[in-house]
Structure 1
């Protein structure tokens, strides 16, 4: 059997922000495996070079490039997107993955940490999305996938600011859909549940917390980064041409149960 042509994204160019490790790197790998030319983004050039070498060593069908720029700084984003399009080619796909987590009781959360998490998780998606969409709307096509979260819908103690950014990102996704849909650009969100990465190792190794995650998730386990790849490939493909403003939750069913 061959894949249905609606799911064919080979030859397209994709930028994945925050993709030197973890979820972002897994999504970039999946896009490259699907035949895309992929641009890895981050602020640490050395780490990006290592990530690109890792993907290159896998002999994937797609080409891999890097772009070092700060997604929280407007001028850096403008210059970075211009450089990518000049050096690699017009962007067909943008995955706004850059994000961070800061855990603290809300009464103890500092002003500086509030602005830091807001800039990283929300403002970055606005800045990069806007700059990419300036070009996508002119060309009449494009796919933007914002990496939302289970916490776009629900929250637990100690992560209120993170949930606030991810809830806002869900609504930004819908707003982008409303503004850019008439120009042929589809904007959707992907909402990971509890995913095992190097950044969540402390939680994974916490036996009590891990047991809670497994009990709370109908699938009965933590998610893996590769569990997220299919959703991104779908939302980036022609199969999703009439889907926009939606969030696809990849959470093992957690948002569906009490």
Structure 2
């Protein structure tokens, strides 16, 4: 039976690279991202369903869940960096932090809630993509890191509450992506890992289905 995965932030970077790995293995894919053009090109390449939109929009989350009534894997990869240049916490605008929480914490939880019935039925799995900024005291990364720390704890509790579903919160390490370039500059980002290599390790994780828990792909 063909398995189905729903991947957020799938138009580029790690999300697109993982989608390519899963498509190569015969998975059915439902992909979402805010950029409709890039997403539709990715979906056309992979024979996937593209549903562009913002994961912080509850109506969009409902559309995604309806598009995957049978689901084996949810990948919460979509994320926002927040204010750039990265400010110290003393200067972090509260409104911007609330918006960051909506995208990086509330949206993944909302999508988990919407898809849990299907994931319970299939004995499926959830991947929540986090960061070492969740635990490291990196100057300027306090706002983003706080949201990823919250996502890690949500994942930790979800794993305890949903023993029939695998839950992995995954630190992929630094990758050469637009998000990293926005934070540290294009030159430094260019020395980071290729998202395709990280996606290969993430695909191996999904295939092996270890017990729920935190995973570092560094």
* TM-score normalised by length of structure 1: 0.76
Which residue among 12, 15, 18 is the counterpart of 1:24? 15
The match for 1:163 is 145
1:174 and 2:142 are equivalent in the alignment? no
Aligned mate of 2:206, from 228, 236, 252: 236
Structure 1 residue 25: deviation in Å?
1.1
Q: List per-residue Cα deviations over 1:204-245 (Å, max 9, x = no partner).
A: 535xxx3xx99xxxxxx52110122133223322x22x511x
Q: Which runs of 5+ in 2 are unaligned?
A: none
Give the TM-score, by structure 2 length.
0.89
Which residue does the alignment assign to 1:70?
54
Question: Partner of 1:11 in structure 2?
Answer: 2
Greater Cα radius of gyration, structure 1 or 2: 1
Give the Cα–Cα distance (whole angstroms) in 1 for the partners of residues 168 and 19 of structure 2.
17
Paired residue for 2:196?
A: 226
Cα separation, 1, equivalents of 2:152 and 2:201: 16
Q: In the alignment, which residue of structure 1 is the partner of 2:176? A: 196
What CA deviation, in whole Å up to 9, does each residue of 1:139-178 have, x standing for no partner?
1511111101121221311110111011111111111111
Which aligned runs of 4 or more in structure 1 are off by greater than 3 angstroms? none
The aligned residue for residue 133 of structure 2 is 151
CA RMSD, Structure 1 to Structure 2 (Å) = 2.1
Kept in 2, the 8 Å contact 1:22–1:199? The answer is no
Question: Residue in 2 aligned with 1:129?
Answer: 112
Q: Match for residue 205 of structure 1?
A: 186
